[in-house]
Structure 1
Amino acid sequence: MGPALAAAVLAALGYAAGSILQAVGVRGGSGAAALTRSPLYLTGLGCDGLAWLLSLVALRRLPTFAVQSLLAGSLALTVLLARAFLGSRLRPRDTAAVLGLVAALAVVGGAGTEQPSPTVGPGGQVALCVAAGLALVAVLGLRRSGSAAFAGLAGLGYSVAALGARAVTLPDAWSQAWRVGLEPVAWAVVVAGVAGTLGYAAALEKGPVGPATALLWSVEVVVPAVAGFWLLGDVVRPGWWVPTVAALLVVVGCSVVLAGSPALPEEA
């Protein structure tokens, strides 16, 4: 397993562990003030942050469709961890979805060979910046929209953030790291990430976690895959196109099933 693939797998595990820790932390407190004093809840947030950083590492060397699909696998890990540590019920369809997701991710992992981050032209950079800005404006402006609309916007925001993280130009030396702040695409990543976070929070506020999470991950798998091929020139291993497309569809389907699982914590 290469370092980029290992980072993506660890990111999925980090997101799953963060969900479980936050769920346990919520059980022991009442109100937002109590959560800020809960070691488990704060550790869960830290796991989410570390997972996000690991996903950025993976995106530098792996195509977007591979990383986003592997991150969607965090749903399977969350369901299994919830069964083990929270005693949550696991339906037969959840077991089948976990097995299907693991098989599909094995195909995606095999199809997404390590490749250098792309060089995106001015047009692509403008497109990413505009998309990030529109996502944030939409999330802030559509106050009366339902949970599905916000979940879809959250998925779009996170998708743009993933695409931008792969496209941003990084300096060769750490001493030049400050130059990242001059990159428009780097700011697009931040803006899109904020849009995704606010959108998902609004989706959970307005509706149940299952449908919102299912729509979020469906968008996060499909949109970066299509845009990665078209905008970033992501490459699939020769002869793997049909298995890859089929595997991506399985990832989406299994994610929808697992998002409705009673084993999924409300904070996931």
Structure 2
Amino acid sequence: MSLVLAVAAAFGYGVASVLQASGARRAPGVLQTLRAPAYLTGVCLDLVSWLLSVAALRVLPVYQVQAILAGSLAVTVVAARIRLEARLRGRDVAAVAVTVVALAALAAAAGPQDPAAPSAATRLALALAAVPVALAGWAAARRRAPNLTGAVAGLAFGGAALCARAVTVSGSLLLEPLVWALVVFGVTGTLLYAQALEHGQVGPVTALLWIAEVIVPSAAGVLLLGDHVRPGWAPVAGTAVTATVAAAAVLAHAPATAAATQ
């Protein structure tokens, strides 16, 4: 069931990007865009997708969920081809196929996971990490370095995923540091990605975002939160994650992706 939630989140993110682009194209200005039905539907779908990904992270390993979410670029490319009539290159078709195969392999390699039970020190470190990531993003944005800003945005979104996986709420949500850190990570990532897209090219920015968002938190999930793969399946999982990131880098440069983020 959790795997279904993660896949649904990826589909939601992919379709939401195209809906928002479609609404923006048909509106004459920013205020009209914010009121456009297609744009509003996309924003709502983004929120639902985020909630689905958080629910999936409560059970699935970080590396699996993040790789599946990176596959949302494949959904964006296909949906943009259908709705926006964007051009689809041969390499984009190949990248979509690689994404599907890699995610299927990753689903088989992950296997059942124990609930994350990080130590108090690990939970505190994850919560405090939101501060230096936000400061690094602020510095990159001030330097007008969009590629670096996109990479830090990926780290922020990855930090949010780690917090969602590690959080254990036994009392009030307001008293749980990881909940606040999750919010800070999420807001930081959203603002930094928007700033990076404003000053940089969508392809490199998005590619670096997904590379940072998949690789770093996946490693942290294994080292800090006890995420694991089936015995003997580590090479398959590693290859699948690498293939998903490589496909995302190709799709980030696709004309359809550019059409869906303008």
Bin the TM-score by the shorter chain: over 0.9
Please state if 1:236 is matched with 2:229: yes
Report Cα offsets for 1:25-59 as digits up to 9, x if no partner: 01111322111211110110001000000000000
TM-score by length of 1: 0.94
2:214 corresponds in structure 1 to: 221
- Deviation of 1:62 (Å): 0.2
Find out whether 1:204 has 2:197 as its counterpart. yes
Structure 1 window deviating more from structure 2 (222-231 vs 25-34): it is 25-34
Give the partner amino acid of 1:6.
V
CA contact (8 A) 1:139 1:198 kept: no
Quote the Cα distance in structure 2 between the aligned partners of 1:4 and 1:42: 27
Q: Name the amino acid aligned to 1:204.
A: L
Query: CA-atom RMSD, angstroms?
Result: 1.3
1:151 is matched with 150
Shift >4 Å, 4+ stretches: none
Structure 1 counterpart of 2:145, one-letter code: G
Distance across 2 between alignment mates of 1:199 and 1:116: 33
* Corresponding position of 1:267: 261
Q: For structure 1, which segment, 154-163 or 109-118, has the greater mean C-alpha deviation from structure 2 after superposition?
A: 109-118
Which residue of structure 1 aligns with residue 188 of structure 2? Answer: 195
**Cα offset for 1:130?**
2.0
Query: Tell me, which stretches of 5 or more residues in structure 1 are unaligned?
Result: none
What is the rounded CA distance, in whole Å, between the counterparts of 1:192 and 1:98 in structure 2? 29
Q: Which residue of 2 aligns with 1:130?
A: 128
Q: How does 1:37-48 map to 2 (within 5 A)?
A: 37-48=35-46
The yes-or-no answer on 1:165 pairing with 2:159 is: no
Asked whether the 8 Å contact 1:63–1:114 carries over to 2, the reply is no
Output the CA distance in 1 between the equivalents of 2:119 and 2:151: 27
Within a 5 Å distance, the mapping from 1:251-266 to structure 2 comes to: 251-264=244-257, 265-266=259-260
Query: In 2, Cα distance between the equivalents of 1:114 and 1:13?
Result: 23
TM-score by length of 2: 0.96
Aligned twin of 1:93: 91
Inter-partner Cα distance in structure 2 for 1:166 and 1:108: 18
Deviation, 1:7, is 0.3
Shift of 1:138: 2.2
How many percent identity over aligned positions? 47
Uncovered stretches (5+) of structure 2, i.e. residues with no partner: none
Q: Counterpart of 1:117?
A: 115
Match 1:249 to one of 235, 242, 259: 242
Secondary structure at the residue paired with 1:36?
helix
- Provide the rounded CA distance (Å) in 1 between the counterparts of 2:41 and 2:14: 12
SS at the partner of 2:129?
helix
Matched letter for residue 147 of structure 2 = A
Aligned match for 1:23, one of 21, 24, 39: 21
> Which stretch has the larger CA shift, 67-76 or 83-92?
83-92
Choose from 58, 61, 66 the match for 2:59. Answer: 61
Give 1:266 deviation, angstroms: 4.2
**What letter matches 2:144 in structure 1?**
S
**Number of residue-to-residue matches in the alignment:** 260
